[in-house]
Amino acid sequence: MGKQSRGRGKSVKVSESPTGVSRLSGRLRGFGIFIAGTVFGLYVVHWFVEFLPGPEVGATVQGLRGTTPNTSGCVYYTLMVRSGQPIEYVYLKTQFPGKVGNFKVGLPQEAQSVMAGRIAMQAWEAGKDENGNCTIVQAAVNNTADVQASAAGNMITIHASKLPSNTYIMGMVATVEGESSLKPSPTGLFIEGEYEYVKLGQTVRKVLPISNKGVTDTK
């Protein structure tokens, strides 16, 4: 409210103006509301984008137990990651019951067929080296330019970035049955993975669907 000041018989109305502190407080409050609204808007957009259909991405792991003289005591695992649409990043981490001997992971040979569409082809030679250790001798095609893989103990990790549509990553891992770097030895596989893609300018990260096909004996 204004104040009345009297002097020389006249009434003068004096208005109170906000202080510098109150002006600053109002501006900060408005700025805070703006920031909160912006953050909330970004959160809502990101939340909405996560529910939109994304790329078709999946992985498969299958084990083959050696039964021949050159493969006995070894379990070989095939790994495959497939992306139907472009993705920014993918990783697959697998821990085996046995210690990893060696591995070969990369991009396979591909062909385009009129009847079957895109075809990915890969073949490995598995056995033992001159010292009797379980090993992947060679792969038919093993382009590792866009794939990173490393193994230590019982675990292998595969990373890849900027994958185009219809990309396959294939690998084979040689493990030693009954030998483990972990005590007690794992009784089964531990598998995890994630992938990232961009939708409407937002980066979305999701759990990689993985199919564990178990272990079968070679024939």
- Residue in the structure block whose two tokens are 């299958």: 62
Classify residue 162 as exposed, middle or buried by CB count within 10 Å of its CB (0-12, 13-18, 19+).
exposed
* pLDDT tens-digit readout, 80-121: 999 999 999 999 999 999 999 999 999 988 878 788 777 788
pTM comes to 0.75
Classify residue 157 as exposed, middle or buried by CB count within 10 Å of its CB (0-12, 13-18, 19+).
middle
The CATH code of the domain at 57-217 is 2.60.40
pLDDT at 95: 97
Tell me what the mean pLDDT of segment 115-139 comes to: 87
Which of 32-36, 66-70, 192-196, 206-210 shows the lowest per-residue confidence on average (mean pLDDT)? 32-36
Per domain, the residue ranges of the chain are 18-50, 57-217
The two three-digit tokens of residue 113, written as one number: 């067929």
